[in-house]
Structure 1
């Protein structure tokens, strides 16, 4: 009996020729995340997204990692690393919304960010920021000294 293995294929392509967009600060990151968020659901359930950047801080894309309930969503770190590596990203920015409107990071938010940052270091990725969005404003982990 012959041993056979499945061949794994990994691919990434940019489907659209977009005008070049760059992220220089948390305000830029918030702007691009907010544009991608469904305004009708931002106060209904929590979502977690990542902004993927190349070495020049040019946006490669935004990816929705998960959608959850009123006060949480499941985030798998290996899934974030998979997407970042598959797109050959140099850095990532995390974002999630707080349906309550309270933009202060929870202890779970801080712990998750620390674990993702540790994974990024191992994979030679840079975790640039983590943004918490509300309908009217945002909190930047980098600007607030959490990252």
Structure 2
């Protein structure tokens, strides 16, 4: 009896060579990269949660959208988040989500989710460098800058 199973693979096609990837050195640069790569047609409509995947030099390998939700929230599946981080061989992440309302203050749910992801990252030896909240005007809030990461 022949048993065939599915083969799982991961691939991505870089649009730029690694030497041209932006290197994240501050929350303002991270927020700029995130905002510039957000769909401007939806940033004021509904919440989305993304991760910025980084190599050992904090250069951006890519951005992956984990979820898109409703007007006031989105669900984040930690298994999917860490599957992407592990499969892409990323050593660090920056978490990002938008607040369509424009407010930059993190909710208690935002803080709890960040703590949960940080604990998972610690276990897997994946650094969580920041959690950036952006709004439709490009303003941002950095968990790292505020000392709550």
Give the TM-score normalised by the residue count of structure 2. Answer: 0.91
Report the aligned-residue RMSD: 1.5
Match of 1:145 among 122, 144, 147: 147
The CA distance in 2 between the partners of 1:129 and 1:15, in whole Å, is 24
Q: Give the secondary structure class of the aligned counterpart of 1:83.
A: helix
Task: Give the match for residue 128 of structure 1.
Answer: 129
Larger deviation: 97-106 or 3-12? 3-12
Task: Give the match for residue 15 of structure 2.
Answer: 16
Task: Show structure 2 runs of 5+ residues with no match.
Answer: none
Larger deviation: 122-131 or 2-11? 2-11
Give the TM-score normalised by the residue count of structure 1. Answer: 0.93
Deviations 1:34-78 (A, max 9, x none): 011122221110011100000010110001111111001111011
Task: Give the match for residue 55 of structure 1.
Answer: 56
Task: Show structure 1 runs of 5+ residues with no match.
Answer: none
Number of aligned residues? 146
Q: Give the secondary structure class of the aligned counterpart of 2:14.
A: coil
Larger deviation: 2-11 or 77-86? 2-11
Asked whether the equivalents of residues 21 and 61 of structure 2 are also in contact (C-alpha less than 8 Å), the reply is: no
The CA distance in 2 between the partners of 1:5 and 1:108, in whole Å, is 43
The CA distance in 2 between the partners of 1:9 and 1:102, in whole Å, is 41
